[in-house]
Structure 1
Amino acid sequence: MKKGIHPAYQQVVFQDSSTGFKFISGSTKTSDETIKMDDGKTYPLIRVEISSDSHPFYTGKQKFNQVDGAVDRFNKKYGLTDNK
């Protein structure tokens, strides 16, 4: 391999934004944020939206964060149903 063209590989902390779950892994990703872990060392902090702690495949739970549409809200508000 050519020297000087590959990014630096370092230990970083990935934190799940939805659950707060943290884990240390090797990565070439960098960050201005840092966090001090239980081992007393300070690592760069990378925030992720989803990890094995919050993904439905690993947790076995499906989470629906999508809000109902305007028509559905109207029908719920005024007690209208699709049945005739």
Structure 2
Amino acid sequence: HGAIPSMSRLGDPYDNAVIESFYKTLKRELMPETRRFSSEKEARNAIFEYIEMFYNTKRMHSTLGYMSPVEYEKIHS
């Protein structure tokens, strides 16, 4: 699919930990094993909606004091 993996230095697995955690959450919450997209456009729209309408605005994050990213930014910007 043309994806280029991001590789850290040997023995340093932490640079991708945050995004790997996000991908795990995305897959678990948006794409259960039974869900299949009929097209790339449908998948892109579903992922965009998940991130912009739920993940950033409503989903609480423990690392942000159980606030959504939008709430955290309002307080800390």
Bigger radius of gyration among the two: 1
**Higher relative contact order, chain-length normalized (CA < 8 Å, sep 6+):** 1
More strand by share: 1
More helix by share: 2
User: Shared fold (TM-score greater than 0.5)?
Assistant: no
Q: TM-score, normalised by structure 1?
A: 0.22
